[in-house]
């Protein structure tokens, strides 16, 4: 792409619009998952039935990701994203507005399907924009998601503190964010090539449309699953582990996940600069080592304050792996990146679905300290697959970055 094309303001606008989309997704996801107890109370969902509802979301999200892979063969990813993001917000509102179990099931199902399409289409656009920039920018999008998660969880805390109903909490958020998303979607940019937009993968011909070979994609799929098993462990077990195993107070046990999220936000905020300097392979290796060290500290910590030291390591370590996995998939199949990203996105949900019951089951059958060694080993296995992040032709970091004179944002 020429310097003139790289200075196209469409790219700056597209980057800003997509950054906002990631932020909104973080807000919506946090508003749902942090208020699950209130949802359970509203609908009278039993403790035995609740896991089925929660498991259904990532399963249907995987279905939504697969559906998006086929959809973007006919329409641009920007079109899919433009309409699927409001569906996520409406599903969130549906969770708050119903009063019957069947309504809750429909809203959760809609949320799961839509979030799968949203994750896939957002990362498709993120990878294509990174390709246009010629340098790493994808971590910045995921930093915006982390920021949205902090904002969403803060809103959820406020709702709980002031005893607001779910509808009172969610409705203003949806009313404000949906129109902003629709307006921002005007500036989404699809796969710029040679200064022109390619509306669909069907427009590519010849070798550019090399089909996605799952055997080649498998190492990245495993890395994605390992990373989300680690993240699921932190999200679901860090508070219980700190309180029940390391003997923290109930108040202190609420801190670990916040430490993890803030660390992930900081890591993703500076992560693109680190990738440009050292390259994706080195960054992924460093992230794996940091995350492995974080789980090791949790496993051997004599008390809660030592255990807390593992959380920032986990945040800084895991935060770089997922965005770089999407970027590596795009480099591996440059003409079929949308399909590769949709497939690899499925393993996001596989990891999240497996992580919590895996650690919980091992904790009950063995010890929770021992259970922490399992995600530790899995994230360290990423070291074996790190060369997959430096596929031939990788153009980001490691001396392959384009000069900053063509930077557009």
* Nearest alpha-carbon partner for 311 in 235, 382, 374: 235
pLDDT given for residue 33 in this prediction? 87
The residues, any chain, with a CB within 8 Å of residue 359's CB and separated by 6 or more, are 232, 233, 236, 237, 368, 371, 372, 374, 375
pLDDT given for residue 262 in this prediction? 94
DSSP string, 293-324: HHHHHHHH-SSHHHHHTHHHHHHHHHTTHHHH
pLDDT given for residue 359 in this prediction? 92
Q: What is the pLDDT of residues 62-116, one digit of tens each?
A: 999 999 999 999 999 999 999 999 999 999 999 999 989 999 999 999 999 999 9
pLDDT given for residue 256 in this prediction? 86
For residue 404, the surrounding DSSP H or E stretch is none
**What domains can be seen in the chain, in order of their start residue?**
3-192 (1.20.1250.20), 214-396 (1.20.1250.20)
| Six token digits for residue 64 | 């939504």
pLDDT given for residue 34 in this prediction? 84
pLDDT given for residue 195 in this prediction? 36
Q: Which residues does the chain have with pLDDT short of 70? A: 1-7, 192-210, 391-409
The residues, any chain, with a CB within 8 Å of residue 62's CB and separated by 6 or more, are 116, 346, 349, 350
């Amino acid at each position: 792409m020429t310097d003139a094309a790289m200075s196209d303001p469409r790219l700056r606008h597209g980057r800003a619009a997509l950054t906002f989309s990631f932020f909104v997704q973080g807000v919506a996801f946090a508003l749902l998952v942090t208020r699950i107890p209130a949802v359970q109370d509203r609908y009278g969902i039993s403790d035995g039935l609740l896991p089925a509802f929660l498991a259904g979301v990532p399963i249907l999200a995987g279905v939504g990701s697969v559906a998006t892979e086929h959809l973007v063969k006919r329409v641009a990813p920007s079109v899919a994203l433009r309409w699927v993001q409001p569906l996520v917000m409406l599903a969130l509102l549906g969770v708050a507005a119903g009063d019957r179990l069947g309504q809750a099931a429909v809203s959760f199902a809609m949320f799961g399907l839509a979030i799968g399409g949203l994750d896939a289409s957002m990362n498709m656009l993120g990878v294509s924009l990174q390709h246009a920039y010629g340098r790493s920018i994808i971590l910045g999008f995921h930093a915006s998601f982390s920021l949205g998660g902090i904002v969403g969880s803060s809103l959820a805390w406020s709702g709980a503190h002031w005893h607001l109903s779910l509808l009172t909490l969610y409705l203003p958020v949806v009313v404000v964010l949906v129109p902003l998303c629709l307006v921002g979607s005007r500036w989404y940019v699809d796969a710029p090539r040679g200064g022109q937009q390619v509306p669909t993968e069907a427009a590519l011909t010849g070798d550019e449309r090399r089909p996605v070979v799952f055997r080649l994609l498998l190492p990245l799929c495993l890395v994605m699953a390992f990373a989300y098993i680690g993240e699921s462990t932190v999200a679901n077990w860090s508070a219980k582990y700190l309180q029940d195993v390391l003997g923290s107070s109930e108040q202190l046990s609420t801190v670990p996940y916040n430490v993890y999220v803030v660390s992930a936000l900081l890591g993703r905020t500076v992560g693109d600069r680190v990738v440009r300097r050292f390259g994706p392979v080195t960054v992924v290796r460093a992230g794996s080592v940091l995350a492995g060290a974080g789980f090791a500290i949790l496993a051997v910590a004599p008390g809660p304050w030592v255990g807390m030291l593992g959380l920032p390591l986990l945040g800084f370590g895991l935060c770089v792996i997922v965005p770089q996995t999407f970027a590596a998939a795009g480099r591996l199949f440059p003409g079929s990146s949308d399909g590769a990203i949709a497939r690899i996105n499925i393993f996001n949900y596989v990891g999240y679905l497996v992580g919590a019951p895996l650690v919980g089951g091992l904790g009950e059958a063995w010890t929770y300290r021992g259970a922490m060694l399992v995600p530790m080993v899995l994230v360290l296995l990423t070291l074996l697959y790190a060369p997959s992040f430096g596929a031939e032709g990788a153009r980001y970091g490691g001396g392959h970055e384009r000069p900053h004179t063509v930077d557009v944002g």
